[in-house]
Amino acid sequence: MKRWVLFTLCLIGALAAFLVSWLMPIHLRAVDAQVLQQAGRGTSGLIDRGLTLVADKKYGAATLLLQAAQLEKIPGYEKLSAAITNAARANPAVSVLGMEPGLKPLLEFEKKTSGAAPLAASLHKTQPITDLLIRSENRENALQFLRGSRSPVVQELLRCRTLTNTVLFSPSQSSSGQAFDAALALCGLMVEGQKLAPGFVNAISAAGTAAFRGGDSQPIEQILIDVMSLGQRFNYGQLVSFIEKIDDPETLRLQANLVRRADAQLPTLFSAVQLSGKPAAAAGFLMKFGQTGPKDLTASLHFGAGGVNELLQRSQRLYVSHFPGNLNALSGALVYLPLRMPQIAWGLKCFLYLLAGFLSALAMHFARPPVPIPERAFQVRGFHVAREILFGMGFLLVVLLLSEPFLALESQNVEFPIRLQLPMVSSAISAENVGANRSIMNQLSLLTLLLFFVLQALIYVACLVKLAEIRRQTFPAQMKLKLLENEEHLFDAGLYLGFAGTIISLILVSMGIIKPSLMAAYSSTSFGVIFVSVFKIFHLRPLRRKLLLEAEVEKNLSTSPSTEHRLAAPL
């Protein structure tokens, strides 16, 4: 009866530990949606941010947030749409061009060329600032306006018009120099209007000064070409809202490349940058997850600024747990620790899985019938605990492999084959490729190697435990040698597992279930040979030698009493 009580308690404890660990929303290579939901509570949402932009007369930026909210069907987007419509009717030029009333040069010569009537034709039909500045009259008026600036950075930009050794642009004095002038004018207008971060302004100043003094002109040209590229897709107000938090040229370059690829996902990228206020983190996330990143970033918009920031900070894929109603509520109650202390939460989850496996093995130990009397002499007290710990470690490994999402995630690093085309420029301007070096081995192969290594290590430790158990028994040496012979198949289990792993891997490859990887397939046999060889050479062989010597001594002592007397006498 006592054994059955212990069996029941261990089984209940194992189920409870497994359930709590399974429901805890923390993952090795993913961030759970419940964590983002909790992080977003009390923070401003997409609709709130859009209404703030409308109040600040940034209608173009608010329109992109509205488009993202409509695509994702975020509740309350009707309120934002009405606010933008009412504001656009009162300020048509601001809504379409994104111009502040104080920016008179562009507004004045735009009225001369286009008139005010077409400006309020559509909220979604904005005037890209690059298309506007590439026109001769607009460009000359903007440059004339900047010549009167007192900003030394603006004057450094204007001095770059004298460069003749340009790399990406044609020189300003050439027949195709209108692109360079337009880029300088656009960048100068933002510097003059104090729309850029101080660190970025310093980078522009340093690059412009170096180019004007005979240094490499490519850094300042790269900044200008990225600004022009963004200006092809944004009006002035949208461009300012998107670029105002960028602190360095590298982030600008990444964001410009991402915007070129965004197409229909442009409102999502813009909204993520607006909500988080961290363009560098958003660019890094999308560069790391080129395939799934846009989808995950879009989903995070439902959780407000806190959810977006949490996703970008974790820099992991988004995972949505699917539990029944009551279990989902219990999982939500466990979200605090994964949100505040993710490392501790992950360690606790692994410990609970290990505890569940250990208690399951202990329950099976109590469920087995009592050991027969003839075999009780072979039992060594306490060694069953070591075997149960090994079972728990194996249970932990199997559960993590089966339950953890995206363990075999392959690299999604983005590479950009870019050719930037500017209006009224006769030739295309090639931009530098952005990408990461490809790994020699994919994640699935590395995971397979790790799996085979851990399994062989567990068998190796199990053999060491059995060896220690035999060593501590009170039988004569000859009996211990026979017990070692009886465990020979256990000691060769690493080889059997290695051969089986290789055969199964090759079968899966031939069936097309997994990608070909001879290294992963043959690693199973290789690890088996290595672990079994180390065990037999450095552990089993010395013990057998010792037992053989002890057995020979025992044999001599039992057959020759005089020898026993001589051995016992002092020398």
Summarised one tens digit per residue, pLDDT across range 75-133 is: 989 999 999 888 877 766 555 555 555 555 554 444 444 444 443 344 545 678 888 88
> DSSP assignment, residue 419?
E
**For the chain, what is the domain count?**
2
Are 242 and 234 in contact by the 8 Å Cβ rule? The answer is yes
Q: Which residue is listed with tokens 């053999």? A: 463
Assign 318 to helix, strand or coil.
strand
- What is the per-residue burial (b if ≥16 Cβ within 10 Å, else e) of 407-434? bbbeeeebebebebebeebeeebebeeb
- Stretch (H or E) spanning 319: strand 317-319
Which of 320, 342, 372 lies at the terminal end of a domain, its last residue? 320
pTM of the model: 0.77
Q: Is residue 143 part of a domain?
A: yes
Q: Is residue 430 part of a domain?
A: no
- Residue 261 pLDDT more than 60? yes
pLDDT band at residue 57 under the 50/70/90 scheme: confident
Note the pLDDT tens digit of each residue in 359-390.
999 998 888 777 565 655 555 666 778 888 98
Which of 285, 320, 355 lies at the terminal end of a domain, its last residue? 320
Are 337 and 345 in contact by the 8 Å Cβ rule? The answer is yes
Q: Is residue 552 part of a domain?
A: yes
Q: Is residue 362 part of a domain?
A: no
Q: Is residue 402 part of a domain?
A: no
506-to-77, 405, 445, 495, 545 alpha-carbon distances in Å: 54, 24, 13, 17, 40
SS (H, E, C) 88-150: HHHCHHHHHHCCCCCCHHHHHHHHHHCCCHHHHCCCCCCCCHHHHHCCHHHHHHHHHHHHCCC
Q: Is residue 483 part of a domain?
A: yes
Note the pLDDT tens digit of each residue in 309-353.
999 999 999 999 888 777 888 888 899 999 999 999 999 999 999
Which of 320, 339, 364 lies at the terminal end of a domain, its last residue? 320
The residue segments making up the domain with residue 452 are: 443-562
Of 403, 354, 329, the residue nearest 18 (C-alpha)? 354
91 lies in the same domain as 237: yes
173-to-104, 135, 233, 423, 466 alpha-carbon distances in Å: 27, 16, 27, 18, 85
